[in-house]
A and B are shown apart, each in its own frame.
Chain A
């Protein structure tokens, strides 16, 4: 774990020091709190932003490319593979993906592989193919090559659920320096804290970066039920069982006449 953290720190340092900063990003999110209520069916958040010269006198260097990476709370998930054993399909092999984002959206104004060269993308972890998804391999952790079947299956399954996505149309430039990014929040979005990384490119190089954050929270009744189930399991079970008896009794009273 420490090795990953160190690598990340080095990358952050390098990229911060790398490009001569001539631009500054100013972003604003339409809503920093997504409330999951009983009628929640998904939502779309909008991130607005402008590109400002920094310092003010430096000339801007359009055209620009923009990548917004949204990451949800970290989870550990297991990808399992079925194989045929004596005629039936059984989960045989599995890999654990450690501390990977439960939600990952890579939004850009054009396909990420046309924005910068593969090395830069890899270094900055831009795009689903380049994002670090560490697996437990034996006693070691590592992100494998991008065409590893378990990694591919993992990304594909998460994409099918709408939790991972890469969109090259989600970011639109309203003027050469004003942009808008649509962040989709599907109905099954996990609750927790989300990080938003905004990266600006010009001529294939990182020009500026900034970040923002948002929270997805269960509110009211949903929160209450989820907390009760987790913290007071026994009581929660007893209440559910009582509810079953009550409804069963009600029905027999209502229909007893005939």
Chain B
């Protein structure tokens, strides 16, 4: 069944888009991430322009992270104080990102920046996750307990001023790295059309030593707010959010996420991280391939304005 998308200005198959929503939703539920880094490339692949894809995916991620955030909220696994601190900087980051997105689009270099950011982020983060989870798996094999959080191990980050205590996460850290992380996630999310969950979770664990109990719930609240505001800002400045496309993606996404979450809960943490690391790394390599290999067509068209 074909449906015409009013903003993307082309017809798509409803079941194909719904299926994509389901598949990405399943993965996002399984790993507790938004799944934007998978959805945006998929939309571009079916012919939707990168700009419309990035802008629309933000609303899709908002929907699926809201479902997730609600269920973590019920389990009291959200550190609201930490989320608010991250958010205050995240909104600024999103606004900066949307602004840069508009500028780069005018310069014809948006696709390149999106491409390079994907490659760098995904390959680096993917490789780090693979390395960390393989080590954890080997450690448990040798009978040692796998601990992510090493109490008492302080880094230079703990020496910074403006210290704050976050009760639910039981951490005492400076506001500076919290703000920096919030800003980076908001910024990257707006430019790349990703919620940044796969970046935020490791950052919170490794830099701030947030315990695993509250890290995913808190990250989902942050993702929810940055993506909801990215939707509004993209709609207000670039007029590129396709509500019809977003609706189909959301419906598929939230259903898929429920089933994914069940699969995820049955798996062991380090196995899950290894799988996610492999997935992230593979997507990164796919983008690298596209940048390096000579494209089939050296020319491309971009719409400037109607007369």
Contact = CB atoms under 8 A, between A and B. Distances in A.
A158 B249 CA distance: 29
A251 B7 contact: no
Contact of B301 (A82, A154, A234): A154
A248 B235 contact: no
A237 B70 CA distance: 22
Given A76-B304, A80-B108, A236 B235 contact: yes
B144 interface: no
Contacts of A150: 299
A251 B67 contact: yes
Given A94-B108, A225-B7, A237 B236 contact: yes
B4 to A, nearest CB: 5
B229 to A, nearest CB: 8
Contacts of B301: 77-80, 154, 157-158
A251 B63 CA distance: 9
Could you say which interface size class chain A belongs to?
Answer: 35 or more
A176 B234 CA distance: 57
A38 interface: yes
Contacts of B243: 225, 229, 236, 239-240, 243
Interface residues of B, number: 62
Interface stretch (A49-57, A85-93, A121-129): A85-93
Contacts of B111: 91
Contacts, number: 195
A80 B295 CA distance: 13
Given A77-B304, A234-B232, A251-B255, A229 B239 contact: yes
A239 B241 CA distance: 11
Interface string B53-87: 00000011011111100110010000000000000
Contacts of A247: 63, 247, 250-251, 254
A158 to B, nearest CB: 7
A245 B62 contact: yes
Contact of B291 (A38, A88, A158): A88
Interface in A19-77: 36-41, 73-77
A248 B67 contact: yes
Contact of B307 (A40, A73, A89, A229): A73
B47 to A, nearest CB: 9
A256 B71 contact: yes
A35 to B, nearest CB: 11
A233 B295 contact: no
Contact of A222 (B4, B59, B65): B4
Contacts of A37: 4
Given A245-B62, A249-B70, A80 B239 contact: no
A244 B304 contact: no
A244 B10 contact: no
Nearest to A99: B307
29 contacts: A36-B4, A39-B4, A40-B11, A75-B303, A78-B304, A80-B300, A81-B299, A82-B298, A88-B291, A89-B292, A89-B294, A157-B299, A188-B10, A218-B6, A222-B4, A229-B239, A230-B239, A236-B235, A237-B236, A239-B243, A241-B62, A241-B229, A241-B232, A244-B62, A248-B70, A251-B254, A251-B258, A252-B66, A252-B70
- Would you list the 4 A-B pairs with minimal beta carbon distance, nearest first? A237-B235, A248-B66, A251-B254, A153-B299
Interface of A: 36-41, 73-84, 87-91, 94, 96, 99, 102, 150, 153-154, 156-158, 187-188, 190, 192, 218, 221-223, 225-226, 229-230, 233-234, 236-241, 243-245, 247-252, 255-256
Interface of B: 2-4, 6-7, 9-11, 59-60, 62-67, 70-71, 74, 108-109, 111-112, 116, 224, 227-229, 231-237, 239, 241, 243-244, 246-247, 250-251, 254-255, 257-258, 291-292, 294-295, 297-307
